Structure 1
Amino acid sequence: MTGIPDAPGAPRRRGRPARTETGGGPGARERILTAARAEFAEHGYDKASIRGIARAAGVDPALVHHYFGPKEKIFAAAVEQAVAPAFSAPAAVTEGPPEGAGERLARFVLGVWEDPVTREPLLAIVRSAVANEIAAGVFRDLITSRVLVGVAAELGGPDAQLRAELAAAQLVGVAMLRHIIKIEPLASADIEQVVAMAAPAVQRHLMGTGAD
């Protein structure tokens, strides 16, 4: 019967834990996401845990499950928020003349990596994706559906998806060598020089083999 509190000492009913016991309430979901991003960044996908995320957020692990489900789902939510700045990549391709698409896309994508606020979550995601197939699948699906499909749609023409992926591979490779592996002189080169030198290759991928 609803509305009647449990007797003192009575076992708690099954279901969602009481708000006072879980640390729930306003802002709980965002606290969990913030804690999840930090947990994945510090420990990687394999070693991060629902319990660790819950402890950092000040909630019961059951509340993490309530909002997000299993670990791969909360990882997907954390990834989506971290990758969100890249969702505007398709617009960078079409916001000017076609002959400048490679430079615009290179400037946009590498710019996301240059900003420490957006770079640090991306570094954590890439490290997890490299080390774990589940994390790689989450990252792959998100980038494909929210970025590459959009870029391909803007490009149109034969092999648009492949061209978009080759352009992305060029830029992700530059970003990884610059910010993760830190190969010199690329790691410390001026970003304007990097953009200028990477843009022609990106342009060829976007416009097709042999494009100027």
Structure 2
Amino acid sequence: MSLVCVECPVRDRAACAVLEEDERNALARAGRMRDLKRNETLFAAGEPVSSCATLVSGALKVATMDAEGREQILALIHPAGFVGEFFRPFAEHDVIALSDSRLCVFAGPTMEQAIDAYPALARALLRRAQEDLHASRVLQALTGKASGKARVAALLLGFGQAASDSPCHPAAQFDLPLSRGEMANMLGLTIETVSRQITVLEREGAIARKGKRGIELVDPALLSEAAA
């Protein structure tokens, strides 16, 4: 396995994990690493998308502007997520770094060749697309929850699940990929309500705040109950 792949923190979760070692090495040689600063744009709405990438670290948002010029976050991309020209929505929306991020980038033709050569990779990318679509639908459904507390709890639980290496349990600790304002925008709440409900969840013992953006899931079951 190439040095880049050995050191990759998502090597066991990304779509390329299905490849044999020599296949992954060949793919790695055709790619390059790209770093994005917070708020830097990876893909801009309306511009041609001629590459694709796996998110290695950090977080991205897929966003658009409504008629009043307000940003709407449509989806979040977490580490091991895949973005690029094979998925039409990315040509129609902005993809922006929520935090300093690193991506493993491939030219579109290179990935097309890899998909043709490795059927397992094509299946893995299809599964990834289905999972991302489900995650986006879950995010959009949060605004339908009755209370602000349920919306905030469900979003925090979703962040914990996205940050976890396990499909069964959320991560014990993670950094919030969104600011309070972005969370409020996504949930249809005010910034004050988001902050207040985070405080309530902390007082109840479901979570603990760690620094500016860190969250510890003290009692995931309690958080899940609050999100119901």
Same fold, TM exceeding 0.5?
no
> Greater strand share, 1 or 2?
2
Larger Rg computed on CA atoms: 1
